Amino acid sequence: MSTKHSAVDFAGPARFHLALNVTDIDAATVFYGRLFDQAPTKVRTGYAKFEVDHPSLNLTLNQSNAQGAGALSHMGVQLKNTDQLVAVRTRLEALGLVKSVENEEVCCYAKQDKIWVNDPDGNAIEFFVVLEADSYSESDPAVKAAQKVGAGGCCG
């Protein structure tokens, strides 16, 4: 039995929502304000919300005393081209936020250029552009090497 699903149209006002628990709401609010180059759209005690147009994102920060790492590996923003990545990198480097830069890295079976930043709680955020998609197999030496990187595996 086959079930056919129609595609959901996310081209309109749809916005991805991500809620993060943070240990210091003030530090996280400042960090994400700098990262997105905008003020939060709502701030309450222990809470901040950013409604970002590009990328279309509803990010909420929630003060939490939760200890230990959760299931989040990392967050990311896929950009359309290298020019966009260069512009983001230039802005974030000027703010002192860029932690590392990767060029022509094989990750998730594709060659990518990317930059990484970390929020005040250590959550990794990548900004990346895909240079070559689906051109690598599981047996490719570059894929095998990427999969062996740390316990987090590829792209982490």
- Go through the domains of the chain in sequence order and give each one's CATH number: 13-64 (3.10.180.10), 73-150 (3.10.180.10)
With a cut of 50, which residues of the chain have pLDDT below it? 7-8, 10-11, 149-154
In the prediction, which pLDDT does 64 show?
84
Reported as a single tens digit per residue, the pLDDT across 50-74 is 999 988 898 999 888 876 655 677 8
In the prediction, which pLDDT does 15 show?
77
pTM higher than 0.75 for the full model?
no
Using CA atoms, how far apart are residues 146 and 105, in angstroms rounded to an integer? 8
Using CA atoms, how far apart are residues 118 and 115, in angstroms rounded to an integer? 10
Q: How open is the CA angle 18-53-63, to the nearest 5 degrees?
A: 35
Helix (H) or strand (E) holding 86: helix 82-94
In the prediction, which pLDDT does 32 show?
96
